Amino acid sequence: MEDRVSAPRTRAQGGRGAGRYAPSPSGDLHLGNLRTALLAWLFARASGRRFLMRIEDLDRARDSGAGERQLGDLAAIGIDWDGEPVLQTERGADHEAAIRTLARAGLVYECTCTRRDILAAPSAPHAPPGAYPGTCRDRTDAQRAVAREAILPRIPALRLRAPEGVRELEFDDVVLGRTRGDIDDFVLRRGDGTVAYNLAVVVDDATMGVDQVVRGDDLAPSTPRQILLQRMLGLPSPPEVEYGHVPLVLGPSGARLAKRDGAVTLAQLRERGVGSGEVLIELATSLGLGAPGEPVTTARLLERFDPAALPRAPWTWAGPR
């Protein structure tokens, strides 16, 4: 039987489109994660889309039980979703089918380079820092066999053979506007056998019928790689798929909010007497959807939501008042 990615469920096939939130279960969600989830929910519900939940648990560095705690925290601030949450680890068959589809088209090759090898290799002119220099791209079968033997027991990673001359791609972002990002021969499956984020997210979004992706703006540079994969796999891509990359939350130091900044999760804030309703008030205020101290619900925020009026700058969390 021919390998193929499961057919995507799109509005063109009779259903509503969908937005989604897809946390990694590496620990409890902090305020930055909750704010992004709230925005993803608002964008989806305001556009009449379904809102789906996916736990991206492919990475081995995950916290047992974190996924359930994350879902509980999202529900606590009033975010709901349609259907059952999807576990990314249960999507492996479609991930591997996508890799085989690309491989049959000659678009996949083995790579034995380490991160240190890549950083030490001479870069092509005008290539961005850290871009893959193509070391393993044109090896012969015999050279690949020798390289494979040399790294045992490690296995080679698999990389996408990006089209010649395609080194960047632009797309329209509903928050950032016209946005560009670099493309190199990026990893599809890592040397530890784990499917890489760029491939998994593309396949999973398509299969789940997701046609609106709202996430942190730190992920905007990777979007061109994902759009390229969508096109190569024959999956929906912009303008059929809408992207919106929203500003992050910063800590008191001005760096991206992290757990080192103190009470930044719902559980930590509860210990300081700050309830989930108060957290929602803070998030609403940061988005210009509520006045300081004004009690709100997600339903009320949805009534007020206007994507064009959203703040475009990061929000700095100074700690509980």
- Total domains in the chain come to 2
194 within domain boundaries: no
14: confidence class by pLDDT, cuts 50, 70, 90: very low
4 within domain boundaries: no
Global pTM reads 0.91
CATH number for the domain spanning 51: value is 3.40.50.620
What does the pLDDT read at residue 254? 87
Q: Are residue 250 and residue 302 in the same domain, yes or no? A: yes
128: confidence class by pLDDT, cuts 50, 70, 90: confident
- The 3-class secondary structure across 71-117, one letter per residue, is HHHHHHCCCCCCCCCEEHHHHHHHHHHHHHHHHHCCCEEEECCCHHH
Q: Are residue 48 and residue 62 in the same domain, yes or no? A: yes
Q: Is 56 annotated as a binding residue?
A: yes
User: Domain of 143?
Assistant: 94-189
Q: Are residue 174 and residue 307 in the same domain, yes or no? A: no
Provide mean pLDDT across the span 132-144.
95
| Of 189, 213, 242, the domain-final residue | 189
Q: Are residue 79 and residue 224 in the same domain, yes or no? A: yes
Query: Sign of the CA dihedral 173, 175, 176, 181?
Result: negative
Q: Are residue 39 and residue 121 in the same domain, yes or no? A: no
Q: Is 20 annotated as a binding residue?
A: yes
Provide mean pLDDT across the span 138-165.
94
Q: Quickly count: other Cβ atoms within 10 Å of residue 281's Cβ.
A: 19
Q: Is 98 annotated as a binding residue?
A: no
Q: Is 309 annotated as a binding residue?
A: no
Evaluate whether 259 touches 27 at the Cβ level (below 8 Å).
yes
| Model confidence pLDDT, tens digit, residues 150-160 | 999 999 999 99
The closest alpha carbon to 190, from 158, 147, 161, 222, belongs to: 158
Compute the distance between CA of residue 216 and CA of residue 171 in angstroms, rounded to an integer. Answer: 16
143: confidence class by pLDDT, cuts 50, 70, 90: very high
Q: Are residue 86 and residue 232 in the same domain, yes or no? A: yes
Q: Are residue 80 and residue 221 in the same domain, yes or no? A: yes
Compute the distance between CA of residue 220 and CA of residue 176 in angstroms, rounded to an integer. Answer: 9
219 within domain boundaries: yes
Q: Is 299 annotated as a binding residue?
A: no
| Of 189, 218, 238, the domain-final residue | 189
Ramachandran assignment for 38, one of left (phi > 0), alpha (psi -120 to 50 degrees), beta (any other) = alpha
Evaluate whether 102 touches 14 at the Cβ level (below 8 Å).
no
Residue 321 has pLDDT above 70, yes or no: no
Q: Are residue 260 and residue 275 in the same domain, yes or no? A: yes
Q: Is 21 annotated as a binding residue?
A: yes
What does the pLDDT read at residue 7? 45
Residue 24 has pLDDT above 70, yes or no: yes
Q: Is 243 annotated as a binding residue?
A: no
8 within domain boundaries: no
Q: Are residue 298 and residue 211 in the same domain, yes or no? A: yes
Compute the distance between CA of residue 16 and CA of residue 82 in angstroms, rounded to an integer. Answer: 12
What does the pLDDT read at residue 13? 36
What does the pLDDT read at residue 319? 75
108: confidence class by pLDDT, cuts 50, 70, 90: very high
Q: Are residue 74 and residue 111 in the same domain, yes or no? A: no
Q: Are residue 233 and residue 287 in the same domain, yes or no? A: yes
57 within domain boundaries: yes
Which residues, in sequence order, are CB contacts of 44 under 8 Å at separation 6+? 18, 19, 20, 50, 51, 212, 214
Residue 311's identity, in one-letter code, is P
The closest alpha carbon to 206, from 108, 97, 106, 103, belongs to: 97
25 within domain boundaries: yes
CATH number for the domain spanning 173: value is 3.90.800.10
76 within domain boundaries: yes
| Of 189, 224, 245, the domain-final residue | 189
Q: Quickly count: other Cβ atoms within 10 Å of residue 239's Cβ.
A: 9
Q: Are residue 114 and residue 213 in the same domain, yes or no? A: no
